[in-house]
Structure 1
């Protein structure tokens, strides 16, 4: 297959590229600028966002496009920061939509990144793909607008991948979450009862590939393990697997004072289930948190 990955130099994008190159596919990585040195593997081709606009013909004949690009929510939510987050997502989705309108041979599927924030937060409710979106804070507002923009993408299938916390050693949130435990000061955050939906990096890579390979899948797809945990359960499992203490609670007011509105990401959560993936027969390699963390520990470089 010929597959383009927008945001292909990021955490998930690199893992996708590694898998697909190993399987013999041709991967186009869309990034802001060309790397200083050429790709070591001839199966990997780097193109820029400017190339997408000025030379769309290089994208003719794609089998699939995966758009993971967008500024991280993990930055200060100042007025400027919020605007940057909104604009980066709108801009990249619009670029993909414009590309699809230009191509003569469009890919049959676009996998568009989204996020679990679309459901809002709750300690009591459980969400699957049939649950309505709930705009109740900045993250849910951003993701709702993100998904609305994806409706402009004119291809046979658009999959809106609602991503939970991705666990891996090479990037994402997990190395930062693990650090307090390595330092011996791990503990629950706030009440510890807020839900944390998560997925192992290998499983999200497999799920993206699964969605491409199964033409009956479209629309929202929750990228999350079938076994979410509370913040306190997550911390206790980390402590057990890594043989570190779980004792030092971080009060909510302290996080709010230090991080401001950004503390919402840590103090609120969503319990989401991957109903659509399971319905279509997807098998999670790491469905249980203990197994996922054990694999990460055993494969730490």
Structure 2
């Protein structure tokens, strides 16, 4: 069995690739070079694949210059449109398409499940809206589409937590800004299990919030991380300092969304690590 994957060299994508290879799948990577070349040269990678997983996108944890904001948008939209072009040309199409989005599509005020229409108005929310719109037409009677609105995926070997650990282990961990902003997150193992769940359940399509059920603040998460590491957390990083370093990109850290994974839980998915405490206890044991 074959899977076609974009973003396969990134933190999440590399974990997804290993996960399915261990289950005996052949994973075909569609690379940045492929996307920049003609569809004719790489559409064979998609031909005959049972599933397409679209995770491509430039990292958002960087300083947002005008040029980099354009890269954040284009790396998602142009890749998705190229996939759609290739999809239309092949004969044996995937029966399932999983396409990434982010919880940043929602505003930071309400509590959101997948039926919420209280969307944000900033740059990230606009990127997510365009990203989801660009893939929508890939859904047909024979191909189901699941859009993954992903929170912070936690694993000690990569992503946000790996960047946080050195300072927290030295007792220099800090609360970001006010600390009241929500911190929607999920254990990497539950993220992978959820993808496998969607693959196996042929009725699963539409929007899915890829977060743990535990709604916590940045302050709570930071204090809990310090507690698990047996280190104090007494510092605060002011928003003004983050703004100086990251520009408009500081909103990634200073704002957050309160998210419930209603459709996953109602579909029967069972979390192995439903709380922030269980997530950190497992990763850092």
Distance 1:15 1:55, change over 3 A: closer
Match of 1:129 in 2: 114
Give the TM-score, by structure 2 length. 0.94
Residue 118 (structure 2) pairs with residue 157 (structure 1): no
CA contact (8 A) 2:64 2:248 kept: yes
Task: Give secondary structure in 1 for the equivalent of 2:247.
Answer: helix
Aligned equivalent of 1:174, options 157, 161, 174: 161
Residue 203 (structure 2) pairs with residue 208 (structure 1): no
CA contact (8 A) 2:108 2:255 kept: yes
Q: Return 5+ residue gaps in structure 2 as ranges.
A: none
CA distance in 2, matches of 1:290, 1:272: 17
Give the Å deviation of 1:258: 2.7
1:83-127 CA distance string (max 9 Å, x none): 1111111111011111110111111110000000111222xx200
Aligned equivalent of 2:129, options 130, 144, 148: 144
Which one is further off, 169-178 or 276-285?
A: 169-178
CA distance in 2, matches of 1:257, 1:56: 43
CA-atom RMSD in angstroms: 1.5
CA distance in 1, matches of 2:245, 2:85: 40
Match of 1:31 in 2: 31
CA distance in 2, matches of 1:276, 1:154: 19
Q: How many residue pairs align between the two structures?
A: 282
Give the TM-score, by structure 1 length. 0.89
Residue 279 (structure 2) pairs with residue 292 (structure 1): yes
Residue 214 (structure 2) pairs with residue 221 (structure 1): no
Match of 1:38 in 2: none
Match of 1:19 in 2: 19
Q: Return 5+ residue gaps in structure 1 as ranges.
A: 34-47
Residue 121 (structure 2) pairs with residue 108 (structure 1): no
CA distance in 1, matches of 2:73, 2:228: 37
Residue 236 (structure 2) pairs with residue 249 (structure 1): yes
Which one is further off, 190-199 or 48-57?
A: 48-57
Task: Give secondary structure in 1 for the equivalent of 2:253.
Answer: helix
